[in-house]
Amino acid sequence: MSAFQLEKHGHLAVLTLNSAEKRNLLTPHSALAIAEAVQQLPHDPHIKALAVTGRDDSFCSGADLASLQQAALGDGEELQQIYSAFTSVAHSPLLTIALLNGPALGAGMNLAMACDIRLASEQAWFESRFFQLAIHPGGGHSWLLPQLVGWQQAAAMIFCGERLSAQQALAAGFVKELWPEEQLLTRAKQLTAGLAGLPTELVRQTKLSMLALRSCYRQDDAVAFEFRQQFQSLQQDAAQQHIAARLAQIKRKD
């Protein structure tokens, strides 16, 4: 059985981790396959968003312990390969949404945090888990988590092993909304419905701009950067048509 299933619903691709018997853990093989699939999606001109979820009652239970053991013996290649699953999602020009149907642990949290938006069911919960194995957090975990939940909550999770329930994750801002598991995909489709009428290049360039501006510290630099992108978008037919339609609508009201 494949480690994941990839389906397309119009402009939304859905990648479902499919190793339910292993609680959808990430192996080097599955991570590389996921990374390749995610990197190939932008070649489809119709795809504007990607949802990532898990099969059955787990989102992702973390990294394969055999790969951690291999790294403990001095070979970090498999560990880097596991990283590729969530770094490919983090770097994607698509809008990315985690559909958290169940627990996300360790590297599974990294996969969830790599997404732009997180929707969860009540069955979801979150643990860093690295200190349970007496290892340093990896994959950008200690960089991303404080950004999402604040320094204090991140420290409690990393150092003290504190678990976030779905409700606590909502209160902390780690997830955007809670929905029954069977409605998560429907909600993702609702959230992305407005993208259907927009140019694919506009959606992707805006996502890339957001990623680029994460390293920007001056408003003037951000304004200059966005001017170039906005000016270019204004030269496109879609923008000119939308603006003309809006002006006509205003004129009719007057």
CATH node for 4-195? 3.90.226.10
Q: Please state the rounded mean pLDDT for residues 150-156.
A: 97
Asked if residue 237 has pLDDT above 80, the reply is yes
Considering the chain, what percentage of its residues have pLDDT values greater than 90? 93
Domain ranges of the chain: 4-195, 196-253
Q: Please state the rounded mean pLDDT for residues 152-168.
A: 98
Q: Please state the rounded mean pLDDT for residues 182-206.
A: 97
Q: For 64-73, 91-100, 203-212, which range has the lowest pLDDT when averaged over its residues?
A: 64-73
| Amino acid 1: pLDDT | 64
Asked if residue 226 has pLDDT above 80, the reply is yes
Q: Please state the rounded mean pLDDT for residues 91-106.
A: 98
At 107, which helix (H) or strand (E)? Answer: helix 107-113
Q: What is the DSSP string of 8-67?
A: EETTEEEEEE--GGGTT-B-HHHHHHHHHHHHHGGGSTT--EEEEEESTT-SB--B-HHH
SS3 content of the chain, % helix, strand, coil (to 5): 55, 15, 30
Nearest to 121 by CA among 165, 172, 90: 165
Q: Please state the rounded mean pLDDT for residues 238-252.
A: 93
Q: Please state the rounded mean pLDDT for residues 173-179.
A: 98
| Amino acid 60: pLDDT | 97
Asked if residue 2 has pLDDT above 90, the reply is no
Distance CA 59, CA 83 (A): 16
Considering the chain, what percentage of its residues have pLDDT values greater than 70? 99
pLDDT mean across residues, the chain? 95
| Amino acid 22: pLDDT | 86
pLDDT tens-digit profile of 122-133?
999 999 999 999
Residue 50: φ, ψ to 5°: -130, 130
Under the banding of pLDDT at 50, 70 and 90, the label for residue 225 is very high
| Amino acid 47: pLDDT | 98
Distance CA 41, CA 176 (A): 25
Distance CA 58, CA 159 (A): 24
